Amino acid sequence: MHPNNPPKSVNFKEGTVLLVDKPQSWTSFDVVNKIRYKLKYKLGVKKIKVGHAGTLDPLATGLLIICTGKFTKKLNELQALQKEYTGTIKLGASTPSFDAEMEEDSQFPVEHIDMELLEKVRQEFIGDLEQIPPIFSAIKVDGQPLYKKARKGKTIEIKPRPVKIYDFKIALTEMPYIDFYVKCSKGTYIRSIANDYGKALGSGGYLTELRRISIGDFKIEDAWNLDHLIEFIEEVEIPEEED
């Protein structure tokens, strides 16, 4: 369902796939809840299934796949697809969350970093890797998200997880910032790549910008602006069986 050529009617209960360009500062669940609320009102129902295929952090923007109705059964299949991201890493510092959501807590030298070193270390991040997720993440340990345990000051042992990086490109814009492109497997934390890459350079690093540009064959160019999608849901015709 392309925003430039939207259908005249949509059977949301039977199911559809919606591509959304997630706004910055919104959580993925905020987007799902907004769409679910609008659909419940539109359809005059108390419940309708709505879910997303792969969380984006609040500071990130980009492609979010939303499924409605019976299509929510496809979520696990969609989550398993390869993903592509672009973004920016700041070198010479780190944060507890591995991104700009928290204040810098450590400073590191960057004078020794040049394109030769950046390129050499970059190659080490392509292939099958063991990655430790950020402690401020939604991964559950003993039934509770890590970020809740972290905010309580608890010491947590996080086990490395296997991920695959198919491609990792970088461009030095102006020190200490580098732009990057990553193509990776399900479950890869780009925040962890930023942190680990900074460490491997003999410095530090954290994510300052992140945008998801594809999930499998789904592209950001085909995604809805969230406000425009809500307007579409308000105006689109609903087949008779959904009345």
User: What is the extent of the structural domain holding 198?
Assistant: 83-215
- Cα–Cα distance between 73 and 15 in angstroms, integer? 10
pLDDT score recorded for residue 152: 54
Domains of the chain: total: 2
90 three-class SS: strand
- Residue spans of alpha helices (H) in 74-187: 75-79, 115-123, 146-151
pLDDT score recorded for residue 242: 44
82 three-class SS: coil
- pLDDT tens, position by position, 74-103: 999 999 999 999 999 999 999 989 999 889
Q: Are residues 59 and 43 in the same domain?
A: yes
The domain that holds 32 is classified in CATH as 3.30.70
- Per the CB < 8 A criterion, the answer to whether 40 and 46 are in contact is yes
Q: Are residues 90 and 189 in the same domain?
A: yes
pLDDT score recorded for residue 7: 86
The domain that holds 180 is classified in CATH as 3.30.2350.10
Q: Are residues 103 and 185 in the same domain?
A: yes
Q: What is the full DSSP assignment across 50-81?
A: EEESS---TT-EEEEEEEEGGGGGGHHHHHTS
pLDDT score recorded for residue 231: 95
160 three-class SS: coil
What residues of the chain score a pLDDT lower than 50?
Answer: 145, 147, 149-150, 242-243
Query: What sign has the CA pseudo-torsion 75, 76, 80, 85?
Result: positive
- Cα–Cα distance between 13 and 239 in angstroms, integer? 10
pLDDT score recorded for residue 154: 56
**Residues with a known catalytic role:** 57
- Per the CB < 8 A criterion, the answer to whether 73 and 63 are in contact is no
36 three-class SS: helix
Q: Are residues 26 and 137 in the same domain?
A: no
Q: Are residues 119 and 190 in the same domain?
A: yes
Q: Are residues 162 and 172 in the same domain?
A: yes
Three-state SS letters, 188-200: CCHHHHHHHHHHH
pLDDT score recorded for residue 239: 82
